[in-house]
Amino acid sequence: MLTVTSLKKTFYKDRKHVSTVLSDISFQLHDGEKLALAGASGTGKSTIARILTGLECPDSGSVRLDGRELWSAAKHPRYDREHGRKIQVIFQSPYHSLDPVQRVGRAVEEALIFSGEAAGRRDAASKREELFGLVGLPLSMSDRLPGALSGGQAQRVALARALALAPDILIADEATSMLDMTSQAQIMRLLADLNERRGLSLIIISHDDALLSAAADRILLLDEGRLSALS
């Protein structure tokens, strides 16, 4: 279970301009749950995702995964990257998260080796094939660069790489907003299938209310730095 308590995050543009993005954010994500974070652009949804994955440090508050604190209580907090690896994210643009000069198959293999899910290159290649099959990518795409893929294909590679790290929680941060309608539907069906078959907990971030209503068990609305339940 993921438990977030009283998160606060303020950004300072200069000494005179302060923007409090997150005022008092608290919520829980239960094992196997599909939770949605809704809200207009700029309300802090992605900031929450970045804090949960160690990319942004909160000003205060607590993030606990299975009872273990991910941010240390110190003057300069540090993120527990080993435990935090159980939370992975796919972003709006897969092209920005993939190395443009690295073959996509190798990107997934390196993630498998890094996470300890594969013992060496041969094992990584075998498990990469399994992951490509899981996300619906033909093996022939392994040797392609990200720029040679469509948006939907590149997002499937990003998803395969995230799964290579064996997460318990996957955050989809506007992961379909740059895709065409067909690719959007395919990615959302794939996420739902991973949730059902693997018990993967999901946090789905979007400003598309119709998408969230169809995809989530529960929806939280972020507005003026605070969360409220929609369903």
Rounded mean pLDDT, 55-62: 93
> How far is it, in rounded angstroms, from Cα 222 to Cα 165?
29
Is pLDDT above 60 for 231? no
In a domain, 220, yes or no: no
In a domain, 206, yes or no: no
In a domain, 43, yes or no: no
Count of structural domains within the chain: 1
At 154, the pLDDT band (50, 70, 90 cuts) reads: very high
In a domain, 117, yes or no: yes
| Consecutive H or E run containing 94 | helix 94-97
Q: Provide the pLDDT for residue 21.
A: 87
In a domain, 105, yes or no: yes
- List pLDDT tens digits, range 109-149: 999 999 899 988 899 999 999 999 999 999 999 999 999 99
pTM for this prediction: 0.91
In a domain, 84, yes or no: no
Q: How far lies 226's CA from each of 101, 170, 193, in Å?
A: 40, 22, 31
DSSP letters, 167-224, are -SEEEEESTTTTS-HHHHHHHHHHHHHHHHHH--EEEEE-S-HHHHHHH-SEEEEEET
Instruction: List the one residue out of 166, 156, 196, 191 whose CA is nearest residue 82.
Output: 166
User: Could you tell me the residue range of the domain that residue 146 belongs to?
Assistant: 100-161
Rounded mean pLDDT, 13-23: 76
Mean pLDDT is lowest, of 48-62, 116-130, 138-152, 203-217, for: 203-217
In a domain, 135, yes or no: yes
Is pLDDT above 60 for 20? yes
> How far is it, in rounded angstroms, from Cα 163 to Cα 140?
20
Is pLDDT above 80 for 74? no
In a domain, 113, yes or no: yes
Q: Mean pLDDT in the chain?
A: 91
